[in-house]
Amino acid sequence: MIGATQGEIAGATNNISWDQRKRKLLPYAYLSPTLLLLAVLTVVPIVTVFLYSFFDNVIVNPNQPKFVGLENYVDALSHRKFRAALGNTLYFAVASVVAHFVIGLAFALLLNSRLLGANVKALFRVVYILPWVFTASIIAILWRLLLNPHGVVNYVLLELGLVPELLEWLSDRDLAIHAVTFINIWSGYPFYLVSFLAGLQGIPDDLYEAGRVDGANTWQLFRFITLPQLKPIIISLALLDFIWTIHQFTLVWMTTGGGSNSEVLSTYTYKAAFSSYEFSEAATLAMVILAICTFFGIFYVRSQRMADE
Amino acid sequence: MIGTRRQILVRKTLLWFALLIGACFAGLPVLWMVSSSFKSNLEIFAYPPALIDHSFSFDAYLAVLSDPGQLRFFFNSYLVAIMVTICTVITSIMAGYALSRYDFRFKKALSLVIIGVQSVPPITLMIPYFGLIVWLKIYNTYTALVLTYMVFTLSYAIIMMTGYFNTLPRDLDEAVMIDGGGSFVTLWRILVPISLPGIVAVGVYTFMLAWNEFLFALTLTRTNDMRTVPIGIHLLMGQHSFEWNQMLALSVLGSLPVLILFLLFQRYFIAGMSAGSIKG
């Protein structure tokens, strides 16, 4: 009888330790598909590209790969074309993020107005979000149609007397990068709009009531209640958007192809790899883009964690 | 702030003025694309331009829809996007559950990695990717596209799912656990059904991303029977004679699925976004 009890107890402890172990391993089991995928399709390529960047003669090359240390970096970074691409990328990204923020917030505030009925809001919300449903290649087609020298934009500007002649928006060396930036602004602000709409709905009405009781005007309500309440969203969004804009490839590729002085880092890298087959140089450039994005990515991850806590 | 009737009228007028300017900025380019897709190719750049002209017809749409090659692009896009959506939803539910309900040793590090994946530039992966995909023997297959797109959809999907699960009270699943239900049962029978709005948001977001992807679809496929709508549009652009109206018709048709999804689920989508990653 006593023996049996001991056996039961031993069985129970066994069960507990088995349960505990299972409980410890379970989260890893749930995460395993994600981790496997990320390991094979993200970590492996990044490590490979990292290694490539220190070698010459990689991939399509009859010669043996040769370790060259930091030579690729020195070559790539000192190139005049690289500096131009870097400058364009920064201009493209900063202008896009600022404009996305301003337009997204303005539209969200308009749609949040108390003076509008629910149906009117719903209708305008759909119109304002429209650019978001189009993929980059369709946005490229759309704006190549509009900005064509014989297109409707030139027609309207000419009729209004705003331009002296028909402009080659996407192939003029002085205009192309601005035109591409404008297209990116048009296509990207709805992401902010949607997030701000969600954020504005989360601000308690009491705050505004209290502000009004204290005699704040509309601007002060916006400055001291709306903006601070949206701040965590704004920071995460701006960082993520900045990183995504630095990545942006398709839109630039399909509008100007990086020509006419509108080369950005991603098109420059793509050309190095798949037009000139200079894979060592391309790998180095890819690492540079990764470094820039990781730098801002760290701030993004931190802003996300703060929001989680 | 109670203004006089006059003040309210002024405010309303200004508001409507701003709303309409915004609507023109967002909507007119789209309207022009749609109207041009009904024109004949000769009239696209006619002077002076007209929204609708005498050449109005559905010819471009008929040309696209009667071309088996173009229809194949649609089939591929649907197949890939639906597969990516199903796989991403299931995987992100499991991962989100682990991150929301369990404490484990590498939790912090792993969630950092998952959030951080969003900042990895596709172009960085691109260079060794081709070799990797060939080595895995999945070059020019749907599998390669589905797995690749999941790299880009999973991160955001997991953040959204974790955020959604975090808003649900823990008592709920703990009660089921005590009643003898395993964690698997708890997840699929209890949490998943009440998380439907979050799951729909993840699904719509994933579908949109997969439907729209371009760079990898271009690089990882070789034959036209494996290619998707964005690549189809790109191929039309590359041809020597620009068939503008067909390109535009294909663009309009290619945007419809995402537009419809968005219109159907926009409420879930906005709610899901606020519950998920980006929250105040």
Q: Are A200 and A226 within 8 A, CB to CB?
A: yes
Determine the distance in angstroms separating the CA of B51 from the nearest CA of chain A, rounded to an integer.
10
Q: Which of A259, A110, A123 is nearest to A193 (CA)?
A: A110
> What is the per-residue pLDDT for A43?
93
Q: Which of A17, A14, A304, A26 is nearest to B103 (CA)?
A: A26
Quote the ipTM score. Answer: 0.86
How many cross-chain Cβ pairs, A to B, lie less than 8 Å apart? 277
CATH architecture of A75-308: Orthogonal Bundle (1.10)
> What is the per-residue pLDDT for A145?
92
Q: Which residues of B touch A141 (CB under 8 A)?
A: 33, 233, 237, 247-248, 251
Q: Where in chain A are the domains?
A: 2-52, 75-308
**What CA–CA distance (Å, rounded) separates B56 from B60?**
10
Partners of A55 in the β-ladder: A67
Degrees, nearest 5: CA angle B171-B176-B180? 140
Q: Which residues of B touch A216 (CB under 8 A)?
A: none
Most confident among A122-131, B76-85, B97-106 (mean pLDDT): B76-85
- Which 3 state secondary structure label does DSSP give B276? coil
Phi and psi for A182 in degrees, rounded to 5?
-60, -45
Q: Which of A151, A185, A186 is nearest to A168 (CA)?
A: A151
Contact B95 A28 (CB under 8 A): no
**What CA–CA distance (Å, rounded) separates B257 from B80?**
14
Contact B255 A44 (CB under 8 A): no
Q: Which stretches within chain B are classed as H helix?
A: 5-36, 59-65, 68-101, 107-116, 122-135, 142-167, 170-178, 183-185, 192-194, 196-212, 215-219, 229-238, 244-275
Look at B192 and A21; give whichever has higher pLDDT.
B192
Partners of A56 in the β-ladder: A66
Determine the distance in angstroms separating the CA of A297 from the nearest CA of chain B, rounded to an integer.
6
- Which 3 state secondary structure label does DSSP give B120? coil
pTM: 0.88
Contact A138 B230 (CB under 8 A): yes
**Does residue B91 surpass a pLDDT of 60?**
yes
| pLDDT averages per 10-residue partition of chain A, 309 residues | 49 63 84 93 93 82 78 90 95 97 95 87 91 90 92 91 88 92 95 88 88 89 91 89 92 89 93 88 93 91 69
Helices B244-275 & A136-146 angle (0-180, nearest 10)? 130
> What is the per-residue pLDDT for B148?
94
Look at B275 and B279; give whichever has higher pLDDT.
B275
Q: Kindly list the distances between the CA atom of residue A14 and the CA atoms of A2, A5, A29, in Å, as whole numbers in the listed order.
A: 18, 14, 21
- Cα four-point dihedral sign B62, B64, B67, B68: negative
> What is the per-residue pLDDT for B278?
41
Of all residues in chain A, the one with the smallest CA distance to B245 is A145
Reported as a pLDDT band with limits 50, 70 and 90, residue B241 is low
- Which 3 state secondary structure label does DSSP give A66? strand
> What is the per-residue pLDDT for B139?
92
- Between positions 103 and 132 of A, the ones with CB within 8 A of B are 106-107, 110, 113, 115-116, 124-132
DSSP character at residue B177: H
Q: What structural domains does chain B harbor?
A: 59-275 (1.10.3720.10)
Most confident among A12-26, B105-119, B138-152 (mean pLDDT): B138-152
Q: Which residue has the tokens 């023109």?
A: B24
pLDDT in tens, B62-80: 988 998 988 999 999 999 9
- Cα four-point dihedral sign A292, A294, A295, A296: positive
